[in-house]
């Protein structure tokens, strides 16, 4: 029996991966894309995995985004939102036309340096950055979002250094993620990266997304602000290591 791209045994393992990845997404607002992609590529080629994870992430972004809509920090959006869109367009072109390894290694190094800096200064003691930093960090997030299905790291760094509370942090990231879903969906369709089989595979994995999001949302309201900040850094560090050492 087959479930989209997966045989039964691979489907079961993939569901476990998706539940875990989207539980992280529900708890801290990001991380599901790169976690899912990093593990699902053991079962599928990356150019098939990325669109499947994209579709699952789009559903998650819409679900969390609608739930958290009133908590979005709108003042952070102008620079961040516009330049994320530019990055998504460039990243989709790179995914279609060029090798991605050198781009992702540089991003991985950036993430690890940021995590080290944040640990030394401690999350609560990190300096605030001006809103215009949303432009380069949003652009970088858009590029890596198109390449690997999760543009979180640089956007997370920006939102952390704007010192948002955990609910506003998650809500603001979901607004960017919804934009990502709309723009990247159109680009993937235009570039031929989405097809009927991809949609069917994502549909089979949707129940696992729901279980993960509900579990993560429960944990989101139970975790205290300081552990929340450190959990964000742990997830970022794992992402950075994965990008540097594929």
Question: Counting beta carbons within 10 angstroms of the beta carbon of residue 18, is it exposed (0 to 12), middle (13 to 18) or buried (19 or more)?
Answer: buried
What is the spatial distance between Cα 16 and Cα 234, in angstroms, rounded to a whole number?
20
pLDDT at 191 over 90: no
Q: How is residue 126 annotated by DSSP? A: P
Mean of the per-residue pLDDT values for the chain? 80
Task: Note the pLDDT of residue 185.
Answer: 81
Q: Domain tally for the chain?
A: 1
The lowest-confidence range among 21-35, 51-65, 105-119, 184-198 is: 105-119
Task: Note the pLDDT of residue 148.
Answer: 62
**Reported confidence tier of residue 152, pLDDT bands at 50, 70, 90:** low
Which range marks the domain in which residue 220 is found?
A: 2-244
Q: What is the pLDDT of residues 27-69, one digit of tens each?
A: 887 778 777 877 787 777 766 787 888 889 888 888 888 888 8
Task: Note the pLDDT of residue 227.
Answer: 83
Any idea what the Cα angle at residue 20 is, between residues 108 and 241, rounded to 5°? 15
Arithmetic mean of pLDDT, 215-233: 84
Instruction: Give Cα separations from 159 to 38, 55, 171, 191, 239 (angstroms).
Output: 24, 24, 11, 31, 17
Contact 149, 36 (CB under 8 A): yes
**Reported confidence tier of residue 213, pLDDT bands at 50, 70, 90:** very high
What is the spatial distance between Cα 92 and Cα 187, in angstroms, rounded to a whole number?
7
């Amino acid at each position: 029996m087959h479930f989209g791209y997966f045989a039964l045994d691979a489907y079961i393992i993939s569901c476990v991966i998706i539940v875990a990845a989207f539980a992280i997404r529900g708890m801290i607002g990001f991380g599901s894309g790169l976690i899912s992609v990093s593990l699902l590529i053991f079962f599928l080629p990356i150019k098939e995995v990325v669109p499947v994870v994209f579709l699952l992430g789009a559903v998650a972004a819409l679900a969390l985004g609608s739930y958290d809509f009133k908590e979005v920090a709108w003042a952070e959006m102008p620079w961040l939102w516009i330049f994320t869109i530019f990055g998504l367009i460039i990243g989709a072109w790179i995914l279609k036309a060029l090798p991605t390894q050198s781009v992702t290694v540089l991003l991985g190094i950036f993430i690890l340096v940021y995590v080290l800096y944040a640990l030394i200064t401690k999350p609560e003691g990190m300096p605030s950055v001006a809103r215009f930093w949303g432009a380069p960090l949003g652009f970088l997030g858009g590029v890596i979002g198109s390449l690997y299905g999760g543009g979180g790291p640089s956007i997370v760094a920006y939102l952390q250094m704007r010192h948002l509370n955990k609910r506003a942090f998650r809500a603001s990231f979901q607004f960017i993620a919804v934009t990502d879903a709309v723009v990247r969906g159109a680009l993937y369709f235009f570039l031929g990266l989405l097809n009927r089989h991809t949609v069917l595979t994502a549909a089979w994995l949707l129940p696992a997304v729901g279980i993960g999001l509900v579990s993560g949302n429960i944990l989101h309201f139970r975790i205290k602000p300081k552990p929340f900040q450190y959990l964000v850094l742990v997830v970022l560090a794992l992402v950075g290591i994965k990008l540097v050492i594929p």
